[in-house]
Amino acid sequence: MLKINNIHASVEDKEILKGINLEVKAGEVHAIMGPNGAGKSTLSSVITGNEAFEVTQGEIMLDGEDLSELSPEERAHKGVFLSFQYPVEIPGVSVTNFMKTAINESRKAQGLEEMPASEMLKKIKEKAELLDIDRKFLSRSLNEGFSGGEKKRNEIFQMAMLEPKLAILDETDSGLDIDALRIVANGVNKLKSKDNAVVLITHYQRLLEYIVPDFVHVLYDGKIVKTGGKELALELEEKGYDWIKNSVK
């Protein structure tokens, strides 16, 4: 589904990604771990087309199609979703209106009619229940004054609404309490199927107990320096990153 070949990316002439290769197949869950500043969020920005980063080399393919010339919205229309590490506050736009607009713009791009209001309401209700989100919450301004945990939960609500093919969850677990983590993980698992894929960026093994990865990658200094199975996460949790850093040097 997703195939990243030798991606190099920089911001303000500083190279951050230094040749990343990654292949994610439909039905798989990949975890990406790594120390602060390694480039994990940068990788997610580059996959989703954030213009703040410049891709200097390499390619990103989604189902055989090169994404490099596509705008962020076009990538979204192809089913790429990012749960942001730091969701942006948008005062004056309610969660509901934002989702309605997002869904209908995606449908428009696919040549479909707008979703009928009743269907939309039903869907909102269903997904809000899945993530245990109070309806009142949905009429509030997007992310404005949301607690850290509420923001993350709302990201997954949006994922549930948009039903992406490839979901990248950038530290969705940070800021969630135990109950919320379970609800969110459960939500992600429910949305999981053999046709879609999830990339989890995380610092903690505990998320991976709920959403079990097929592969765990370690990203360090702009490169994937180690790949293993779910047991690698446990090992990292125990030993930290130093042994990996040392082995790279």
Ligand X SMILES: Nc1ncnc2c1ncn2[C@@H]1O[C@H](COP(=O)(O)OP(=O)(O)OP(=O)(O)O)[C@@H](O)[C@H]1O
Binding site for other proteins (CB under 8 A): 48-52, 71-73, 75-77, 81-82, 84, 87-93, 97-98, 101-106, 109, 114, 141, 158, 162
The CA–CA distances, whole Å, from 112 to 98, 103, 106 equal 18, 11, 9
By CB under 6 A, residue 168 contacts ligand X: no
Q: Considering beta carbons, is residue 127 or 222 the nearer one to ligand X?
A: 222
Coil, strand, or helix at residue 11? strand
- Which amino acid, 162? L
Shortest spacing between CB 223 and ligand X, in angstroms? 12
Residue from 1, 38, 46, 67 in contact with ligand X (CB under 6 A): 38
Query: What are the DSSP E strand ranges found in the chain?
Result: 2-11, 14-24, 29-33, 54-62, 65-66, 80-83, 90-94, 141-142, 166-170, 197-201, 215-220, 223-228
Ramachandran quadrant class, 17 (left: phi over 0; alpha: psi -120 to 50; beta: rest): beta
By CB under 6 A, residue 55 contacts ligand X: no
Q: Considering beta carbons, is residue 64 or 92 the nearer one to other proteins?
A: 92
Q: Considering beta carbons, is residue 61 or 102 the nearer one to other proteins?
A: 102
* Per-residue DSSP letter, 113: P
Question: Measured at CB, which residue is nearest to Mg ion?
Answer: 41
Q: Considering beta carbons, is residue 98 or 215 the nearer one to ligand X?
A: 215
Chain residues binding ligand X by CB under 6 A are 11-12, 16, 34, 36-42, 52, 85
